[in-house]
Amino acid sequence: MLILLVIAAFKADIYYVMVVVGITGMPVIANLIAGKIAFLRQKSFIEAAHALGLPAHTVILKHILWLNCRALLVIQATLGMAEAILVETSLSYLGFGVQEPTPSWGNMVQAGANYFLQGNFGPRPRRRSPSSRPSSDSSCSATGSTTSSKVSAGNDGRTSARHREPAHLFLFTGETRLYPLGGRREPGRDARETLGIVGESGSGKSVTALSAAGLVTAGPGVISGRIDLHSNGAARNLLDGLEKYARVTEQDGRVVAVEKDELGWSKRSEALMAGVRGKEIAMIFQNPRSALNPYSTIGKQLVETIRLHTNLKRESEARERAIHWLERVRIDSPRLRFDNFPFGMSGGMCQRAMIAMALSAEPSLLIADEPTTGLDATIQSRIVDLLAELKAETGITTLLISHDISVIQRLSDRIAVMYGGTVVETGRAAEVLAPEAQGRHPYTAALLASIRARRRYAGRAICRR
């Protein structure tokens, strides 16, 4: 209908027809791309790209549209081209599109239809004289005269028998509170320590990590309190000013509703995290294979991070730096692995590559969100050893999140226990894990009891063997 209105308002021109066909086909493509983007936004490698500090336009244009939506766009463009040809053919055949003498598929189909309707679609018999059959010489003469008469008839402009006729409010049940990463320093507290956060599933550990990296911008919750980052002699609150973009309704001491300005919250959060993500704060995610872009090689992703956050802008220099970090995280044959895709590497090697990517810009704070999840026991032990070695070499401050108390106990200087979105107990690792301590929170006591029960079970299993 829109095409017919445009043709009636302007004229039956091929350019008008194609423009209208293209405009009417755009919503289909836009709907497909929007669905693809909504699907990709939930992927860990997009979240990891934000955590590494990549600009929003780089994530959208390169990691989403170019690397992930390119095939979809090519396929849809091919189908759309065929659909546009079909629409133009139909319009021209019906007389609403391109008219002669401009060539088009519709005019060709109409001409073929006219031939078919007139019965001129087979070989026509040659007319012969009613007289008796002539000799071969007279036949040649007659043929010659007939040919000449046809030519002369054409030159005279007379109509031939084969002449063609002209064609025609968000709701949630509780409040998320975060443990401050900085703030007031305690006497004797080491600035380059490892803080381990332990808790059951759903206690708020990952939300704490994502909030520290400024990655919690949408959703029903409101992140309140302070997250102070001390780096290069300066301190900043990573939640400064966010409270004015949300209004919380409480009832009987519980949050029952939140009115949140998502756009304002997101813009303010991005302004606070400018120059922080990837450069000052780096993050290691739970599933290393999904945290890496499957359509880009390990080396390209490393080089992109290094060129963004360091002074190495040349491709060759960034490549050598990337290979150096791959070797530093104990990846065999780093020059060969540089050109590998994530699906061509094991889970442990992908986690090592993720660690190299996080540390390549030499950040001040490393957030490791359950870095051993999904790995077998041997690989878990190696990853824990690697983190301990890199911690000793670089002296980086680390926020380690895990539900495995043995990993927390091995790597952490201080421990914070979370339960129900709240830090219920914190202190030095030896103090929190001491079995004889009094006045414990019930969850901490249950956690320590589970450790002792596991050790007794392991001891009985060894004795049976």
Rounded CA gap, 258 and 221, in Å?
Answer: 8
- What domains can you pick out in the chain, each with its CATH number? 2-116 (no CATH), 176-433 (3.40.50.300)
What are the two backbone dihedrals, phi and then psi, of residue 53, each rounded to the nearest 5 degrees?
85, 15
Contact 266, 217 (CB under 8 A): yes
Residue labelled with tokens 């104990």: 330
Axis crossing angle, helix 377-394 with helix 347-359, rounded to the nearest 10? 20
50: number of CA atoms within 13 Å, CB side? 21
Distances 111 to 50, 55, 96, 106 between C-alpha atoms, Å: 59, 57, 15, 9
Alpha-carbon Rg of the chain, whole angstroms?
Answer: 37
Q: Is the peptide bond before 435 cis (omega within 30 degrees of 0)?
A: no
DSSP state of 13: -
> Alpha-carbon torsion 304, 310, 315, 321, what sign?
negative
Q: How many residues does the chain have?
A: 465
Contact 403, 200 (CB under 8 A): yes
Run of H or E including 195 = strand 194-199
Max intra-chain CA distance, the chain = 132
Distances 218 to 71, 74, 271 between C-alpha atoms, Å: 29, 32, 15
Q: Any bridge partners for residue 197, and if so which?
A: 401, 416
Q: What is the pLDDT of residue 453?
A: 65
DSSP, collapsed to helix, strand or coil, labels residue 171 as coil
User: Residue 186 burial by CB count (10 A; 0-12/13-18/19+): exposed, middle or buried?
Assistant: exposed
Q: What is the pLDDT of residue 375?
A: 80
Q: What is the pLDDT of residue 461?
A: 47
Structure tokens that stand for 395 in this block: 């002296």
DSSP, collapsed to helix, strand or coil, labels residue 255 as strand
Q: What is the pLDDT of residue 122?
A: 55
- One pLDDT digit (tens) per residue for the chain, 465 residues: 666 676 667 666 677 777 777 888 888 888 888 888 888 877 888 888 888 888 888 888 888 888 888 888 888 888 888 888 888 788 777 777 777 777 777 778 877 777 777 765 555 555 555 544 444 443 333 334 333 333 333 444 444 444 433 333 222 223 333 333 333 333 334 557 889 998 888 888 888 788 888 787 666 556 667 777 777 667 778 888 887 887 777 777 676 777 778 788 788 888 888 778 888 888 888 888 888 988 899 999 999 999 998 888 899 999 999 999 999 999 989 999 999 999 888 888 999 999 999 999 888 889 998 888 778 778 888 888 898 888 888 888 889 998 888 888 888 989 998 888 788 888 888 888 887 766 678 888 888 887 766 656 555 544 555
Q: What is the pLDDT of residue 334?
A: 92
Rounded CA gap, 33 and 19, in Å?
Answer: 21
Give CA 307 to chain center in angstroms: 20
Q: Cβ contacts of residue 20 below 8 Å, gap of 6+?
A: 2, 3, 6
